[in-house]
Chains A and B, each alone.
Chain A
Amino acid sequence: MVEGVPVEQAPVGGGFPRARVVRLGLTDFRSYDTLSITTDAPLVALSGDNGAGKTNILEALSLFTPGRGLRRAELGRMLRHGATGFSVFAALDRGGCEPAVNLGVGLQPDPEGGRATRLCRIDGDTVSSPAAFAEYLRLVWLTPDLDALFRGPAGDRRRFLDRLVLAVDSGHGSRVAALERATRSRNRLLEEGARDPRWLDAVEREIAELGIAVAVARAETVTRLAGLIARARNNDSPFPDAGLALEGETDALVVQHPALEAEDVYRERLRNERGRDRAAGRTLFGPQASDLVVRHAPKDIPAGEASTGEQKALLIGLVLAHAGLVRSMTGHAPIVLLDEVAAHLDTARRAALYRLLADIGGQVWMTGADPALFADLPEGSLHLAIAGGTASPRI
């Protein structure tokens, strides 16, 4: 296990390659026919009326990572009305002696009239998947969708956790997808009434291998994140520490047994529980039944019982800690996207947030409806007014 560098000991600024988007260009993306933003600011604030297209800009940036971006929308839905393809261009400055790099992602219409395809480019060369961008930048984001995270269903927290894992372990996404497919295969076999028990054995062996790999990857990320939060503990911080734990039978299994033994136990359980799972219509045992349990550490209460404001502060703290983890584990100070976060914070908390964000050393893009929210931005920040499909600096 590689020990992460705690945030407070990490050199600020110079020690890590930072990735900053110095030019962002959108074409036929959502509400924009064309938009170009040039900046070298570490903090970019976007303000404007509801529906002006602020979040669209964050969404465009979020496409430089595997998946469907921060709204989890299909790429086809990101087309400007009437367009057949879109493109997002980002020129990255990586500081120091690292060469700058140009990244592009887009939806390309099929000239033969078939399905449009996602296109990813690095310095003019096509790459096979957005996973290739991970070499140049990492992204962390927080959106209002997550406001109900601690009170909502466990599935939301698992998905949130899997995103956290993905940012430090780029193979995690395909692992989770493979486990889902294998589990669906088993459910189908159980539903049809297994004609051939060896077939179920084979599927279950695959599930056990994948399931343990997913559980181990999650456990590692949670342990590292919890360690980082503990080392950076500061009771004066306006963002309370989160206590993190994984709760689930599979998670207990990987703690108690080495991976290979855990796979054997897992397989045995699947085999014994075929009847139960057939009746339930799904596979009950596995990482798909785990939960990320979050506590408000200073008050020692479950996060879901904290006030709405406290939950928001807890979530911000968690995302900031995660950004620190990404930096220490990958060597990339991440680009942080904060959608509608500033509105929930008073002046003192906003100032603390800006300070903490500056410590991470990457770049932050944030949105808010009211321009006054960003009146106290630190020097060197860029504040853009978004209106009518254009972005103009506010003075």
Chain B
Amino acid sequence: MPKASAGPEIERLIQLLARLPGLGPRSARRAALHLVKKREQLLGPLADATRAAAERIVTCSVCGNIDTSDPCAICSDQERDPRIIVVVEDVADLWALERAGVLNARYHVLGGVLSPLDGIGPDDLNITGLVGRAAEGGVEEIIIALNATVDGQTTAHYLTDSLRHLPVKITRLAHGVPVGGELDYLDEGTLGAALRSRTAF
């Protein structure tokens, strides 16, 4: 075990930074040093922002999104189409779809996908909330935007089954050719999926 090269406050900062995704001990050290050097411009504001976020962050009781108000900014936005709900696994996926900015709909964050091997079942996910929202009326379409993995697709089947009794159209994202992609470079599975879900011109 190497000896600590800085005081306990800085060491603690490094240890915490190292727990962030994408940062290891070495890059955490670099980041800490950068923060310490930019105490006024960066370290102070970051500390304030972190504290403010820690105090105010809540999970939206409607859709499961993370925000500083409940309901979240998306759920309370009157401009959004209340007839469409997009189901995503995680807040990161919600953000990705928002970045694309093509849909002015509401969301529902499941908080994971069904995975018996990881001990995640229907009760661990925000599924009852989704069925409740769909049953309330006013919802016409539910778009299932889950990953094309075994667990993602199993969850999609489960949701379809759970919503079957409601007069709601259930759709899922298309699988196939990426925008700007060349057919020549696609694997056979993707090409097959693209052919199966082809659309009329």
- Which A residues are within 8 Å of any B CB, using their own CB? 110-114, 131, 135, 169-171, 174-175, 178, 181-182, 184-186, 188-189, 192, 195-196, 198-199, 201-203, 205-206, 209-210
Across the interface, do B121 and A195 meet the contact criterion of CB distance under 8 Å? Answer: yes
Query: In this assembly, does B104 line the interface, its C-beta being within 8 Å of a C-beta of chain A?
Result: no
Residue-wise, chain B 129-169 has the 8 Å CB interface mask toward A (1 for contact) of 00000000000000000000111011111100110000000
- Known A184-B117, A185-B116, A199-B158; judge A174-B189 contact (CB<8 A): yes
Residues of A within 8 A of B24 (CB): 110-114
CB neighbours (8 Å) of A113 from chain B are 24-25
- Residues of chain B from 87 to 124 with CB closer than 8 A to chain A in the complex: 114-117, 121-122
Chain B nearest CB from A345 CB (Å) reads 36
Which residues of B are found within 8 Å of A169, using beta-carbon distances? Answer: 188
Contacts A112-B27, A185-B115; is A202 near B188 (CB within 8 Å)? no
Q: Are A198 and B162 in contact (CB under 8 A)?
A: yes
Contacts A112-B25, A198-B162 hold; do A185 and B157 have CB atoms under 8 A apart? no
A188–B157 CB distance below 8 A: no
The CA-CA distance from A111 to B148 in the complex, in Å, is: 32
Interface core residue of A131, A192, A196, A206 (most chain B CB under 10 Å): A206
State A184–B119 Cα separation when bound (angstroms). 12
Residue among A110, A185, A195 making CB contact with B117, cutoff 8 Å: A185
Contacts of B116 in A (CB 8 A): 184-186, 188-189, 192, 199, 203
B187 — which chain A residues lie within 8 A by C-beta?
131, 170-171
Residue from A110, A188, A201 in contact with B161 in the complex, judged by beta carbons closer than 8 Å = A201
Q: Which residues of B contact A178 (CB under 8 A)?
A: 149-150
Question: How far is B18's CA from A114's CA once the two chains are assembled, in angstroms?
Answer: 12
Residues of A within 8 A of B151 (CB): 181, 185
B185: chain A residues within 8 A (beta carbon) = 135
Question: Which residue, of B24, B25, B116, B162, has the highest number of chain A Cβ atoms within 10 A?
Answer: B116
List, in ascending order, chain A residues with CB within 8 A of B150's CB: 178, 181-182, 185, 206, 210
Question: 5 additional contacts, CB 8 Å, given A112-B27, A199-B121, A206-B150?
Answer: A112-B26, A114-B24, A178-B149, A188-B116, A195-B121
A181 to B151, CA, bound (A): 9
Inter-chain contact A202/B117, CB cutoff 8 Å:
no
Complex: chain A residue closest to B191, CB-CB: A171
A220 to B161, CA, bound (A): 33
A75 to B154, CA, bound (A): 31
User: A264–B66 Cα gap in the complex (Å)?
Assistant: 40
B189 to chain A, nearest CB (A): 4
| Contacting pair B189 A202 (CB below 8 A) | no
Q: Are A202 and B158 in contact (CB under 8 A)?
A: yes
Which of chain B's residues has its CB closest to A185's CB?
B116
Cβ–Cβ < 8 Å partners of B122 in chain A: 196, 198-199
Task: List the B side residues contacting A206 at CB < 8 Å.
Answer: 150, 153-154, 157
Residues on B lying within 8 angstroms of A by beta carbon are 24-27, 114-117, 121-122, 149-151, 153-158, 161-162, 185, 187-189, 192
Tell me which residues across on chain A come within 8 A of B157, comparing CB atoms. 201-203, 205-206
Q: Which B residue's beta carbon lies closest to that of A114?
A: B24
The contact sample of 26 A-B pairs, CB cut-off 8 A, is A110-B24, A111-B26, A113-B24, A131-B187, A169-B188, A184-B116, A184-B117, A188-B116, A196-B122, A198-B122, A198-B158, A198-B161, A199-B114, A199-B116, A199-B121, A201-B157, A201-B158, A202-B114, A202-B157, A203-B116, A203-B154, A205-B154, A205-B157, A206-B153, A206-B154, A209-B153
Q: Name the distance in Å between B23's Cβ and chain A's nearest Cβ.
A: 8
- Among all A-B residue pairs, the 10 with the closest Cβ atoms: A112-B24, A171-B189, A202-B157, A202-B158, A188-B116, A185-B116, A171-B188, A205-B157, A206-B154, A178-B150
Q: How far is the CB of B80 from chain A (nearest CB, A)?
A: 29
Please indicate which of the listed interface residues B156, B161, B192 has the most CB atoms of chain A within 10 Å of its own CB: B161
**Residue on B with the closest CB to A170?**
B187
Return chain B residues, CB-CB under 8 Å to A201.
157-158, 161
**Bound form: Cα–Cα A326–B188 in Å:** 15
Residue among B26, B27, B188 facing the most chain A CB atoms (10 A cut-off): B188
- Chain A residue with Cβ nearest B187: A171
Q: Residue of A at shortest CB range from B25?
A: A112
Please name the residue on chain A nearest to B190 by beta carbon.
A171
Set A135, A170, A195, A202: member contacting B154, Cβ < 8 A: A202
Task: Report the bound CA distance from A129 to B23 in whole Å.
Answer: 23
A112 to B121, CA, bound (A): 35
B153 cross-chain contacts in A, Cβ below 8 A: 206, 209
Whether B189 contacts A175 by the Cβ 8 Å rule is yes
How far does the alpha carbon of A313 sit from the alpha carbon of B33 in the complex, in Å? 66
- Alpha-carbon distance A205/B187, docked complex (angstroms): 24
Residues of B within 8 A of A131 (CB): 187
Q: How far is the CA of A131 from the CA of B188 in the complex (A)?
A: 12
Give the nearest-CB partner of B114 in chain A.
A199
Report the Cα distance A192→B119, complex, angstroms: 10
Question: CB-CB < 8 A to B189: which residues of A?
Answer: 171, 174-175
The CA-CA distance from A230 to B101 in the complex, in Å, is 57
CB distance from A292 to the nearest CB of B (A): 22
Min distance, Cβ A143 to any Cβ of chain B, angstroms: 27
Are the CB atoms of A170 and B188 closer together than 8 Å? yes
> Distance in Å from the Cβ of B78 to the closest Cβ of chain A?
35
Q: What A residues does B149 contact at CB under 8 A? A: 178
Q: How far is the CA of A238 from the CA of B156 in the complex (A)?
A: 54
In angstroms, Cα B121 to Cα A188, docked, is 12
* Distance A186 CA – B154 CA, assembled complex (angstroms): 11
